[in-house]
Chain A
Amino acid sequence: MKPPPFEYRSAHDSAEAVNLLTEYGDDAKILAGGQSLVPLMNFRMARPSVLIDINQTHDMTHIRADDGHLVVGAMTRQRVLERDQTAGSAVPLLPAALAHSGHTTNRNRGTFGGSLAHADPAAELPTVLVALGGELTVQGPSGKRTVPAEDFFLAPLVTSLEYNEILLSARLPRLPQGTGVRVEELARRHGDFAIVSVMAAVHLDSNGRADLVRIAAGGVDSTPIRLHEAEAQLSGTALDDAGIDAAAVAAADSVHPTDDVHGSASYRLEMVRVLVARAIRSAITHQKEGHR
């Protein structure tokens, strides 16, 4: 198997990439780490006529944190992000999720923005963005715009990026010091795409009440799904067992999985219920044990 013929172009910065996208139109695709697009091309499931390589760019590889947010450039390698202390302390859910994203060799090359723009509904990074209410900054010919994560992912492998727009970076709210996080993932093998994944972040105040609850599920709908109803039920409570179990049922009610070779829809619903409860309990333990 070899990829179908394509024209290879290299962009030296994000502006040049946007110009090339505008010039070539819908037939062009951005090549970042190549860990998803190149396999699709080798299997001839994707046949872009032009690839615009952005590996030579230098304006999209930053990791910056301020008081409120973490900003990660789209060309940041996943393995670099996974090991970055600034990112890990601002948003500990990121390294926890990346540990499930392919294998280390894939993460050495795969990029943060590439996984987001590829928009696989079972991939880890899109689920983190949705869970935490991240925002994505994209650039087109007429300038930049910012898109909330829940509006960015539209369907499997479909985002709100226009044909001539490129993802520059994404911004995640910094989690309060001591926030407990947990990734529960069901996959055939570690590193595979999730059959069901659940990401949770929980922070208990000094009275033992949850002042932050963030939960999202991957692999169970056409995009990652923020579990708003379960979050609302748990926020402000002491996260007792009955409350967690009820929220887990509510979570399963808010996703719409389909059958595939890896599992039936009903199995996935049951796993959402199980994994949400498990993730919340583990996140509480994570906070209580103090992971910093």
Chain B
Amino acid sequence: MRLNLTINGAQHTADDVWPGESLLYVLRERLGLAGSKNACEQGECGSCTVYLDGVPACSCLVAAGQAAGHEVVTVEGIGGGEDELHPVQEAFVDAGAVQCGFCTPGLIVAAHNLVERTGEPSDEEIREELAGNLCRCTGYEKILDAVRLAASRKQEAGT
């Protein structure tokens, strides 16, 4: 099939797509958007998290055919431009919440969703919201720091 979908605000087309392949495969292998990571393929690890129609979803569990005509935002679309980080990404850098970096793109999408949606999330809310994202460098404390930092900076900026 010819797959048309919107990614990070731009219209994309991919040809000869099998409708049963995953949205993650389309993003990484057909469109060169390698930010979203491929790991567990069972919706457990959160490495492939993208926004699908404004809601975080595991792109490994979405069939390409299901994404046709829909709107996707990947980690590449979170920041402002080529080198411009989103405040959530900056907070991850400042808090040292990145070690090997494999889980980071999924965590950025999940944390972005939490920070954008809530004012100042409690620790419980942060844990609940990020529970679907696994980090194997055991960096959770610094990830929690990063989310708190991003949320408090957002409150200070009054945005």
Contacts and interface: CB of A to CB of B under 8 A. Distances in A.
Interface of A: 1-3, 5-8, 10, 31, 34-35, 38-39, 42-43, 51, 53, 55, 79, 102-106, 108-109, 190-191
B56 A104 contact: yes
B34 interface: no
A-B pairs, top 3 by smallest CB distance, nearest first, are: A103-B132, A39-B42, A8-B19
A104 B130 CA distance: 8
Interface stretch (B59-67, B75-83, B135-143): B59-67
A108 B58 CA distance: 9
A56 to B, nearest CB: 9
Contact of A109 (B21, B25, B46, B61): B61
Nearest to B56: A105
Interface in B32-62: 41-43, 46, 49, 52, 55-58, 60-62
B145 interface: no
Contact of A191 (B19, B57, B60, B132): B132
A30 to B, nearest CB: 13
B71 interface: no
Contacts of A53: 63, 65-66
B110 interface: yes
Contacts of A31: 63, 66
Contacts of B42: 38-39, 42-43
Dominant SS among interface residues on chain B: mixed
Given A3-B20, A43-B42, A51-B20, A109 B131 contact: no
Given A53-B66, A103-B46, A105-B110, A39 B61 contact: yes
A159 B45 CA distance: 29
A4 B52 CA distance: 24
Contacts, number: 77
B15 interface: no
9 contacts: A35-B43, A35-B58, A38-B60, A42-B41, A42-B60, A104-B131, A105-B43, A106-B58, A109-B58
Given A5-B20, A109-B57, A102 B43 contact: yes
A102 B63 CA distance: 20
A108 B55 contact: yes
Residue with the greatest number of chain B CB neighbours at <10 A, chosen from A34, A53, A55, A103: A103
A34 B65 contact: no
Given A5-B20, A6-B20, A105-B56, A35 B131 contact: no
A108 B55 CA distance: 7
Given A10-B65, A34-B61, A108-B55, 5 more contacts: A3-B20, A6-B20, A35-B43, A106-B43, A191-B131
B40 to A, nearest CB: 8
B84 interface: no
B62 to A, nearest CB: 7
A84 to B, nearest CB: 15
A102 B57 CA distance: 12
A70 to B, nearest CB: 23
B128 interface: yes
A105 B57 contact: yes
A179 to B, nearest CB: 25
A104 B22 CA distance: 20
B24 to A, nearest CB: 11
A103 B107 CA distance: 13
Contacts of A42: 41-42, 60
Contact of B58 (A1, A6, A43, A105): A105
B46 A38 contact: no
